[in-house]
């Protein structure tokens, strides 16, 4: 086989550009096959502890010595001949551990190392993502409190609507991520070990190994589970654990993609409005042709990766639905791609989101100007009520406001003028009784409802308890430097 370099063979952008070293390491060959060996060691230890005299401490010590020293070349050579990845690594491990060779993988089937390793990887991957979600919520919470009183134009259908505050809008993003945190926490807590189940999940081979002592077989399952850091195992399996587990976990990650794409869409729209802007490095180039541009590249990248995850999450769903009886192998090739790539893509997404939420710029003057452009139309009912309470004729006042509003809107659209509706009403004698109150009625802070209080209550009731509970995870070092 001709030699290759990273420049002459395909490299996944997920590992090369987007995912952290931590997540890439978790799904690396080194981690995978070291974990296989840890599983073989745990199995041998448990079998010895339960009285299997064929296994010696010397054999276990030999296996432990070579646990992380994977002889990849030997394994590849064996796989080329045997066409079986697990058997190739058993033989390669046996070459390094000649004394332990007879007892490696004793009574087990391939799923013992494959499935248990994948469950370990998913659990650790979820923990990495969980910590980053907590950091995202922590950063967004600081921004929400900072801007809880900053009145801004809200939008429904991307059309101007009743004012809110920027802090309240940020809380909408936080709420989505809180739901994701709850979901991921649930998945971590519910994830179990495949355990020691044998060829079709009946544990028949282990029953034979322990001379039909069913209690020892049960203890073996429990011992290995605990040695590998799990509290529980799935009580019934086929040869594999249910592939529905993969689907549930990937759909949980897809929820993070949904939240992140929604956030990135809002950021892109706000950057177009020049109200909020994602971080932009001093020497960063927005466009190769238009030197002035400051494109929302990070938010766009979040949207792109999120779209990939949302499409990819169907793969484990179809795999779970397509399994036959105790197992079929049409899951294997798909799982090797779909599950790790979902974790890597989500890792890339949350890394970028954290970068954006930790350093976006807010432009209050622009926000105020946009609000001023639309505010007079939004308070016409308030003005009408005030004028009626001051003794005016409701129908005549309504017609006056309608006429002034139509003319102000026409001037804005056709002549590019500022919104002068309030000035028009102020000059109208019909509204002379409330002329002195127009500025008070038009004060933005009086039009945002309970938005500032809602931010404070949200922090007290939902965010602060979460950040207190997981304060040990609040460390910006857990988020790698961004590959722009």
Catalytic: 247? no
Q: Which of 25, 69, 208, 287 is catalytic?
A: 287
Catalytic: 157? yes
Using CA atoms, how far apart are residues 193 and 226, in angstroms rounded to an integer?
9
Backbone φ and ψ of 367, nearest 5°: -60, -45
Q: Which of 157, 211, 272, 472 is catalytic?
A: 157
Structure-token match 């494959």, residue found: 114
Read off the tokens for 52.
């299997």
Catalytic residues: 157, 287
């Amino acid at each position: 086989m001709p030699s290759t370099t990273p420049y002459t063979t395909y490299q996944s952008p997920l590992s090369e550009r987007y995912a952290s070293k931590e997540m890439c390491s978790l799904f690396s060959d080194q981690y995978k096959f070291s974990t296989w060996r840890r599983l073989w060691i745990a199995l041998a230890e448990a079998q010895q502890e339960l009285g299997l005299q064929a296994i010696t401490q010397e054999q276990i010590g030999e296996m432990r010595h070579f646990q992380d020293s994977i002889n990849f070349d030997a394994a590849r050579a064996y796989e080329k001949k045997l066409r079986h990845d697990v058997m190739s690594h058993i033989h390669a491990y046996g070459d390094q551990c000649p004394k332990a060779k007879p007892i490696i993988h004793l009574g087990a089937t391939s799923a013992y190392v494959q499935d248990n390793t994948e469950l370990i990887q998913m659990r650790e991957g979820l923990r990495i993502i969980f910590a980053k979600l907590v950091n995202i919520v922590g950063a967004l919470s600081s921004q929400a409190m900072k801007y809880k009183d900053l009145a801004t134009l809200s939008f429904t259908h991307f059309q101007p609507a009743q004012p809110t505050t920027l802090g309240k809008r940020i809380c909408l993003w936080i709420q989505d991520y809180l739901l994701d945190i709850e979901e991921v926490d649930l998945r971590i807590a519910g994830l179990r070990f495949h355990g020691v189940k044998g060829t079709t999940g009946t544990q028949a081979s282990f029953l034979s190994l322990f001379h039909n002592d069913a209690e020892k077989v049960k203890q073996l399952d429990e011992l290995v589970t605990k040695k590998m850091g799990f509290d529980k195992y799935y009580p019934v399996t086929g040869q594999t654990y249910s592939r529905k587990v993969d689907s549930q976990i990937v759909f949980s990650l897809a929820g993070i993609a949904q939240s992140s794409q929604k956030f990135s869409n809002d950021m892109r729209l706000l950057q177009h409005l020049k109200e909020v802007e994602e971080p932009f490095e001093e020497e960063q180039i927005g466009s190769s042709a238009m030197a002035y541009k400051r494109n929302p590249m990070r938010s766009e990248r979040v949207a792109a990766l999120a779209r990939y995850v949302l499409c990819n999450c169907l793969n484990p769903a179809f795999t779970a639905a397509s399994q036959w009886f105790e197992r079929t192998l049409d899951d294997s090739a798909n799982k090797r791609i779909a599950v790790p790539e979902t974790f890597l893509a989500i890792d890339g997404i949350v890394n970028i989101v954290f970068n954006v939420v930790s350093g976006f710029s807010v432009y209050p003057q622009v926000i105020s100007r946009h609000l001023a452009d639309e505010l007079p139309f939004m308070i016409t009912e308030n003005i009408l009520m005030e004028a009626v309470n001051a003794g005016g004729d409701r129908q005549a006042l309504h017609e006056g406001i309608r006429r002034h509003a139509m003319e102000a809107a026409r001037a804005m659209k056709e002549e590019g003028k500022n919104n002068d509706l309030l000035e028009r009403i102020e000059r109208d004698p019909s509204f002379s009784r409330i002329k002195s109150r127009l500025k008070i009625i038009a004060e933005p802070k009086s039009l945002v409802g309970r938005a500032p209080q809602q931010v404070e209550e949200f922090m007290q009731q939902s965010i602060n308890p979460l950040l207190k509970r997981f304060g040990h995870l609040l460390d910006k070092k857990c988020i790698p430097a961004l590959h722009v």
